[in-house]
Amino acid sequence: MVEPLLRPKRKNPVLATRVPTLPPGGRSRAALGLTAAAAEGRFALQVCTDCQAVQYPPREACHRCLSVKLKWRTQDGAGTLLAQTTLHHSNDLFFRERLPWRLGMVRLDAGPTVVAHLHGDVDGAASRVRIGARLDRAGQAVLIALPDTETPNMSDDVQLREMTCDPKFRKVLVSDAKTAVGQAVVRALVAAGADIVWAGHAEPWKKLPGFDDLVALPQVTPVPLDLTDSRSVTELAGEIGGKVDIVVNTAEYHRAAGIGHRVGIETARSEMDVNYFGLLRLAQAFGPALRARAADGPTGACAWVNLLSIFALANFPAHGTFSASKAAALSLAQCLRAEMRPAGVRVVNVFPGPIDDEWTQLLPPPKLLPETLARAVVGALKDGVEDVYPGDVAQEWLERWRDNPKALEREIGS
């Protein structure tokens, strides 16, 4: 059984500081399909549409009939461990600092035999396992063999934790903890074992229900943070930037309006100032410190979470300017992901459907409760995914957008 993770000791300034290193990141274009599925928490393999043969490793043509009609399909990952070994030496800098490291060969029930990292609770050969696809520190898909059934302290496994962003014993900044969503996220992080949660709040004169009870929790520390004020962001970064392990940007300005529903650009400017420029200010202030601390042991800096919207994929005219601001934030988040990846810091984008709040009163159900969205955020960190689409509306929207973006644009526009 995996031993529970202990609260890390304070960093010894006399010892050498480990610099960020990444596992080998080279992949073929075909193999990026495996990465795309892992980024959403799925294990997918190529399946030949002509002979139904399941392919591994990813390839350009079927290994059985040479057909090029290979489609990615989600697999359950069930299999049997054939053999295992433990590495005690490696020439690779990333693995050399993390030895010993367990590997094994697993025959999938679907057919192929794969080489996978082994979770600490996986027994010897012939034991049943389930293969999961995870993103490594380089942002590429790797396979890990997990126990067939849930075990105690499962998420505390040393190798699995290298592939996730579990908030346990980590220090988290939530940029706006006054909203219902922000408060739910803070409570979910505390429940997940976060060591400290800094609860950002702007406009201290504005008393919102629940905030006083929130900051009464021993793990929560309120901090002034206004994403529309560059000085507020940089001052807070100067105080706690070198301690933050995870940033969760929940700050959002949302008004229901399209282009012709309101005179002037003040509302659209406010949405852009928080949803886009606010993210930019936050990234410029806290990004460098996160990158520098990405190698600080088992609880080092590891993740940046952006609360976006499913409306960022295709504009919803009834909330047109809000959709446009979230689309701009999505583009910026992709830039942030590219800059954070060399340090091994994961950027997680959350695309919820309509949230049950005051600005979506006229939208029919189903709508996401703040608590449901908060669980999705913490679940994304624990699973180490890059993109998550919580809620039925977001899932349906995503499926239609992938199938035919132009058809989705016409349907929602009418």
DSSP class per residue in 29-70: TTTHHHHHHHTTT--EEEEETTT--EESS--SS-TTT----E
Q: Is the pLDDT of residue 49 over 70?
A: yes
CA neighbours closer than 13 Å in the CB half-sphere of residue 60: 2
Summarize pLDDT for 136-173 with one digit per residue, the tens. 999 999 999 999 998 888 999 999 999 999 999 999 99
Q: What is the mean pLDDT of the chain?
A: 93
Residues near 363 by beta carbon (within 8 Å), at least 6 away in sequence: 318, 354
**What confidence score (pLDDT) does residue 200 get?**
95
Pairing of strands 246-249, 78-87: unpaired
Cα-based distances in Å from 263 to 5, 252, 266: 56, 22, 9
pLDDT of residue 209: 85
330-377 per-position pLDDT tens digit: 999 999 999 999 999 999 999 999 999 887 887 888 999 999 999 999
Q: Are 127 and 80 in contact (CB under 8 A)?
A: yes
Whether the model clears a pTM of 0.75, i.e. scores above it, the answer is yes
Give the per-residue pLDDT at 389: 97
Please say whether the beta carbons of 133 and 37 come within 8 A: yes
Angle at 236 between CA 235 and CA 237, to 5 degrees: 90
3-state secondary structure of 253: coil
The percent of residues in the chain predicted with pLDDT above 70, rounded, is 99
Residue 174 reports pLDDT greater than 90: yes
CA distance 155 to 4: 9
For residues 337 and 111, give the distance between their C-alpha atoms in angstroms, rounded to a whole number. Answer: 35
Task: Tell me the sheet residues that pair with 145.
Answer: 118, 131
Q: Domains along the chain?
A: 32-161 (2.40.50.840), 171-413 (3.40.50.720)
Indicate the pLDDT class of residue 122, thresholds 50, 70 and 90: very high
**Residues 104, 107, 110, 112: is their CA dihedral positive or negative?**
positive
pLDDT of residue 1: 67
The answer, yes or no, to whether the previous bond of 57 is cis (omega within 30 of 0) is yes
pLDDT in the model for residue 208: 81
Question: What average pLDDT does this structure show over 77-83?
Answer: 96
